[in-house]
Structure 1
Amino acid sequence: MEEEEQRRALVLLLTYALLKRRRDLNNAHAQRRAEVQRRVRHRQHFFQRQRRMLMMMIAGGVRSDVRIRTRPWTTTQSTDWWERVAMTEFQPPDWLDKFRMSRETFFYLCDELRPRLARQDTSFRLALPVEKRVAVALWRLASNVEYRTISALFGVGKSTVCRCVRDMCHAIVALLSAVYLRPPGEPELEASAQLFLSKWGFPHCVAAIATLHTAIITPSNNASDYANPAGWLSVQSQVAVSGRGQFWDVCASFPGGTDPADIFQNSSLWATAAGGGLSPATPPAFMGKPLRYVLLGEACYPLQSWLMKAYPEEKGRRAGHPAPAEPRRLFNRRLARALRSSSEALLRLRARWQCLSKRNDCGLDLVPTMILACCILHNVCESHGDAFKAEWQVEVAEAESPQPSHRQPPSTGVDQGRAEETRNLFCDYFQEQNM
């Protein structure tokens, strides 16, 4: 009897365990089916929402869709000025005044930069067209106004304005440097020498070297290094200007307190010129002697056989010697006249792109790239024959701080003898022309 009761109890226990297991399995299957159905409903809702948005785009057009998509992301929804006024009603003087270039040059620039500036649309918004991105950046470079002003004008966010400026500057340097900022070939050297002779009266010269100081905000580190001789903070650039008033070489990103002679002696332009790279393989004749083409520089640069600068007139007077002879004074006058080519080119650069004439509030990581981009844009506009307005220079003269002057470096003795012989040849040339 006891064995029969134990067997019956065991059968009941097993039956209960099997029933509980079946109930648990049924509950698990029910929960899994509910989760699958919830996910299916969620996906159906998502696809229906996407389908409704697509139908709204088709029915309302791209412009309405842009307003709908951008409303949650920015408080400046109006794009009427750009889409209606600028793109359809601007006349040639308007393009020149607002973007510092002609309409043809503007769209040429957009086509050249499209590989780097084009963006893909996303599910949440349409990408800005390349033309609008370029226009936003050019407005900033030309006027140096605040980001919020450009944001309200173009109907984009302030962060978008900053990104457009940064992206376009990097794209210009990456894509256009090889075309508009490159070492000259022999035909260009000869053409530049002819222009320096015919326009400025200085023979056998292919370029003038000058410095440019761009005012900046106070950097977080080593602020004293950026104080230039005039006392304000700046980034210093070295430029080489051809006879056409275009830039052949630009060396940017140096603190304003750096000695220009140190920048020049450590630049690729020094190595190229010292190695004869700015002259044909067979040096052309000058005053009956073969002589490589020369560069012209300010008093802060060292005298070389291929770099001419003025005679130090005041030094002779302080030492008790008589004033320089008439040939030397005549050389200094002709040199000062020829150096106007670089000063005029820099003035046109700062007047066209006023981010270089007013204090630039961009980060120090972007300022050198912006300077290079503005020099390339200057060459693009000059190459395409875009007009230049004289009132731009008046704005620069009223707004900017005077460019600082640098001290004259001591004589290094390197190439000094040949340099004096070369400078005497130019003195003889000007003396003959004067007679």
Structure 2
Amino acid sequence: MEEGEQLRSLMFLMSYLLLKRRRDIDNANIQRRNEIQRRIRHRQYFFQRQRRMLMMMIAGGVRSNVRIRTRPWTTTTSTDWWERVVMTEFQPSDWLDKFRMSRDTFFYLCDKLRPRLARQDTSFRLALPVEKRVAVALWRLASNVEYRTISTLFGVGKSTVCRCVRDMCHAIVALLSPVYLRSPNEQELEDSAHLFSSLWGFPHCVAAVTTLHTAIITPSNNASDYANPAGWLSVLSQVAVNGRGQFWDVCASFPGGTDPADILQNSSLWATVAEGGLSPAPPPVFMGKTLRYVLLGEACYPLQSWLMKAYPEEKGRRGSQTVLTEPQRLFNQRLNRALHAPKDTLLRLRARWQCLSKRNDCGLDVVPTMILACCILHNMCESHGDDFKDECHKHLRSASMDSGQAEEVRQLFCDYFQQQNS
């Protein structure tokens, strides 16, 4: 009896183990089949998606061809506008009007920026050519239109337009600053002094310093610091302009409420000129004395031996009129006339690059680089002879901060103008 019970128990245990083993094998087979079916469905979905995308591309090309053949008077597609109209049908006047430079200068710029702007094709999309990236960015700088307008025009995404503008501005500052925005050599100093004397009637001067306000959107932090004396928000830049109407030095990114004298004293231009960097060694002779070349500035700048500004015509809280001598009045007339050189240059700069004359909706991390890039592009276009003239507004600020030790130099110029006038 006991042996029979033991045998039954053993058979029951063996049956249980066999059933459990079979259940485990069935579960494993079910999981394996489910995984295989999941992979099959994934591959089918992937191939169907690829086929749908291919059919959409083919259908889009067919519709575009039909639309162009049947309705030739309608607007062409964006890709066709860039590849056919711009690249093959644009006239010289169209290049100057749309891109603010000639066709030769445009491709020269593309070649210079190619090391920084060239991109590789990927498995999902083709990279934009360097020429198209530069054209997108130039259109934005020249017109200051919205990203969505440029996106529709060139057939690219709005984020792509934003990247093109950022990348090109950074590439211009990095690659072209040593060529088009640098300190002049002795020959360039002499040429600039000759131009200021012959064109503007102010001798022994090589450059003029002025300010440029660029309107911006309200920043997230310290918005009150960017309010300029005119009451609107701006980024303030200091520029030095030579006799040819080109920029020698640009100091950007200051809030609009900053005192221009503070910008000058904290700029590299102050250190360079104070150390004699804008004058040959030994200095040239003027009115029988050895004198370094001078720069001209507005009333907001301090009077220095190398920086001339006009005599103040009003002094005191009661508004009493300061009586100027005839040489002093003549000095003010000639200096004010010579200060038209940087004013005219800023007019051309803003006319060429409308992003500086209208409110710029880019972030504060981009605006200073954009200002530098526009100044460099201005110098490049001027040096290549790509003239562009238009009208724009300018905004200047008046303030004063004088320093002693420069009155003798200013009186020397008064004597010169008095001799010329007599």
**TM-score tier after normalising by the smaller chain length:** 0.7 to 0.9
**Do the aligned residues in 2 keep the contact of 1:212 with 1:238 (CA within 8 Å)?**
yes
Q: Indicate yes or no: 2:418 matched with 1:431.
A: yes
Q: CA–CA distance in 2 between the matches of 1:134 and 1:227?
A: 33
Q: Indicate yes or no: 2:396 matched with 1:404.
A: yes
Counting matched residue pairs gives 410
Question: For residues 64 and 105 of structure 1, do their structure 2 counterparts lie closer, same or farther at Cα, with a shift above 3 Å needed?
Answer: farther
Q: CA–CA distance in 2 between the matches of 1:2 and 1:232?
A: 106
Q: CA–CA distance in 2 between the matches of 1:302 and 1:39?
A: 77
Instruction: Please name the residue that 1:350 is paired with.
Output: 350
**Do the aligned residues in 1 keep the contact of 2:214 with 2:236 (CA within 8 Å)?**
yes
**Which amino acid is 1:132 matched to?**
K
**Do the aligned residues in 2 keep the contact of 1:297 with 1:309 (CA within 8 Å)?**
yes
**Do the aligned residues in 1 keep the contact of 2:315 with 2:322 (CA within 8 Å)?**
no
**Do the aligned residues in 2 keep the contact of 1:317 with 1:323 (CA within 8 Å)?**
no
TM-score relative to the length of structure 1: 0.85
Instruction: Please name the residue that 1:307 is paired with.
Output: 307
RMSD: 3.0
Q: Indicate yes or no: 2:233 matched with 1:203.
A: no
Q: Indicate yes or no: 2:2 matched with 1:2.
A: yes
**Which amino acid is 1:247 matched to?**
F
Question: For residues 381 and 35 of structure 1, do their structure 2 counterparts lie closer, same or farther at Cα, with a shift above 3 Å needed?
Answer: same
Instruction: Tell me by how many angstroms 1:346 deviates.
Output: 0.5
Instruction: Tell me by how many angstroms 1:33 deviates.
Output: 5.7
Instruction: Please name the residue that 1:71 is paired with.
Output: none
Instruction: Tell me by how many angstroms 1:223 deviates.
Output: 2.7
Instruction: Tell me by how many angstroms 1:85 deviates.
Output: 1.0
Instruction: Please name the residue that 2:361 is paired with.
Output: 361
Instruction: Please name the residue that 1:16 is paired with.
Output: 16
Question: For residues 322 and 11 of structure 1, do their structure 2 counterparts lie closer, same or farther at Cα, with a shift above 3 Å needed?
Answer: closer
Q: CA–CA distance in 2 between the matches of 1:230 and 1:48?
A: 62
Instruction: Please name the residue that 2:73 is paired with.
Output: none
Instruction: Please name the residue that 2:326 is paired with.
Output: 326
**Which amino acid is 1:403 matched to?**
H
User: Counterpart of 1:245 in 2: which secondary structure?
Assistant: coil
Q: CA–CA distance in 2 between the matches of 1:83 and 1:321?
A: 65
**Do the aligned residues in 1 keep the contact of 2:140 with 2:355 (CA within 8 Å)?**
yes
**Which amino acid is 1:371 matched to?**
I
Please list the CA deviations of residues 242-296 of structure 1 after superposition, one character each: whole Å capped at 9, or x if unmatched. Answer: 1111111111112222111111111111111112122223222222222222111
**Which amino acid is 2:13 matched to?**
L
**Do the aligned residues in 1 keep the contact of 2:173 with 2:372 (CA within 8 Å)?**
yes
- After superposition, residues 140-155 of structure 1 pair within 5 angstroms as 140-155=140-155
Q: Which 5+ residue runs of structure 1 have no aligned equivalent?
A: 68-75
Q: CA–CA distance in 1 between the matches of 2:284 and 2:230?
A: 41
- After superposition, residues 182-261 of structure 1 pair within 5 angstroms as 182-261=182-261
Q: Indicate yes or no: 2:363 matched with 1:371.
A: no
**Which amino acid is 1:286 matched to?**
F
Q: CA–CA distance in 2 between the matches of 1:320 and 1:256?
A: 31
Instruction: Tell me by how many angstroms 1:323 deviates.
Output: 2.4
**Do the aligned residues in 2 keep the contact of 1:316 with 1:323 (CA within 8 Å)?**
no
Instruction: Please name the residue that 1:72 is paired with.
Output: none
Please list the CA deviations of residues 193-245 of structure 1 after superposition, one character each: whole Å capped at 9, or x if unmatched. Answer: 22222322222222100011112233333333222222222221110001111
**Do the aligned residues in 2 keep the contact of 1:112 with 1:175 (CA within 8 Å)?**
yes
Decide which moves more: 321-330 or 87-96.
321-330
Q: CA–CA distance in 2 between the matches of 1:54 and 1:314?
A: 77
